[in-house]
Homo-oligomer: A and B are copies of this chain.
Amino acid sequence: MSTITGGAGPQSALYLDDLKIGDRFCSAEHALDEQQIMAFARQFDPQPFHLSDAAAKSTLFAGLAASGWHTAAITMRLLVTSGMPLQDGVIGSGGEISWPQPTRASDILHVESEVLEITPSRSRPDRGMVKLRSETRNQRGELLQLFVSKLVVSRKPA
Q: How many copies does the complex hold?
A: 2
Task: Collect the chain B residues with CB atoms within 8 Å of residue A48's CB.
Answer: 89
Alpha-carbon separation in the docked complex, A77 to B43 (Å) = 8
A92 touches B74 (CB 8 A): no
Q: Is the interface of A mostly helix, strand, loop or mixed?
A: mixed
Beyond A59-B89, A88-B59, A92-B68, whether A45 also contacts B76 by CB under 8 A is yes
Task: Collect the chain B residues with CB atoms within 8 Å of residue A98's CB.
Answer: 93-95
Nearest B residue to A68 by beta-carbon distance? B92
Which of B69, B88, B89, B146 is the one whose CB lies under 8 Å from A76?
B69
* Interface membership of A7, Cβ < 8 A: no
How far in angstroms is the closest Cβ of chain B from A3? Answer: 23
B99 touches A94 (CB 8 A): yes
Interface residues of chain A, those whose CB is within 8 Å of chain B, are: 40, 43-49, 59-60, 67-69, 72-74, 76-77, 80-81, 88-99, 146, 152
